[in-house]
């Protein structure tokens, strides 16, 4: 069964709020080798004008992946996760994510295209506070490799 192109254009309801925690920002920064004290030291972050420690530039993927899961794990979408390769990723930050932020994500399936036996799926997660302040637009394209 191939990827279901009828999913193109589909949008999902906002996810439950995801709380950005200090300890998780530090663990993510450690895992990617992000050295800034602004990821770990709340005093340094406040001195720089932030409400709390600042998440690394790609941290938003943690929430975006949760958004994408709504599509990828939907059997109707026909996406075999073991054949998925990440093709591209983009983040447009509307403001930096900081610890204490509660983040809701709204998933949009922008394109579903089949070409040469593979399928390319582009999703866009609009991340915002529950009050509606925009935080980040995360765009991802996955390639679902066909059976060769």
Partner 1 sequence: MRPAAVTAADLQAGTELPGRSVPVDRQRLLDYADASGDQNPIHQDEQVARRVGLPDVIAHGMWTMAAAVEVVTDWVGDPGRVVSYQTRFTQPVVVPADGGALVEVTGRVTAVDRQAARATVELQVTSAGQRVLGRALAVVDLG
Q: How far is the CB of 128 from partner 1 (least distance, A)?
A: 17
Show the site string, 22-51: x = touches partner 1 by CB under 8 A, - = not: --x--xx-xxxxxxx-xx--------xxx-
Check: CB of residue 58 under 8 Å from CB of residue 125: no
Cα–chain-centroid distance for residue 59? 8
What are the backbone angles phi and psi of residue 55, rounded to the nearest 5°?
A: -75, 145
Sign of CA dihedral 11, 96, 26, 132: negative
Q: Is residue 73 at the binding interface for partner 1, with CB under 8 A as the rule?
A: no
Q: Is residue 105 at the binding interface for partner 1, with CB under 8 A as the rule?
A: no
Q: Which is nearer to partner 1, 6 or 85 (CB)?
A: 85
Q: Which is nearer to partner 1, 6 or 19 (CB)?
A: 19
| Helical segments of the chain, H only | 22-32, 42-47, 61-72
Q: How far is the CB of 4 from partner 1 (least distance, A)?
A: 21
Q: How far is the CB of 91 from partner 1 (least distance, A)?
A: 5
Binds partner 1 (CB under 8 A): choice among 51, 88, 130, 133: 88
Q: Is residue 135 at the binding interface for partner 1, with CB under 8 A as the rule?
A: no
Neighbours of 79 (CB within 10 A): 23
Residues in the chain: 148
């Amino acid at each position: 069964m191939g990827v279901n192109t009828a999913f193109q254009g589909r949008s999902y309801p906002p996810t439950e709020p995801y709380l950005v925690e200090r300890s998780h920002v530090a663990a993510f920064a450690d895992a990617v080798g992000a050295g800034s004290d602004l990821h770990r030291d709340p005093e340094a972050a406040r001195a720089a004008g932030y409400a709390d420690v600042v998440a690394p530039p790609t941290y938003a993927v943690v929430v975006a992946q949760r958004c994408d899961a709504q599509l990828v794990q939907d059997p109707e979408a026909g996406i075999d996760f073991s054949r998925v390769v990440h093709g591209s990723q983009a983040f447009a930050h509307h403001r930096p994510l900081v610890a204490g932020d509660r983040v809701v994500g709204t998933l949009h399936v922008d394109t579903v295209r089949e070409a040469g036996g593979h399928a390319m799926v582009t999703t866009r997660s609009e991340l915002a506070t529950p009050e509606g302040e925009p935080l980040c637009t995360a765009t991802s394209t996955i390639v679902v490799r066909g059976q060769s």
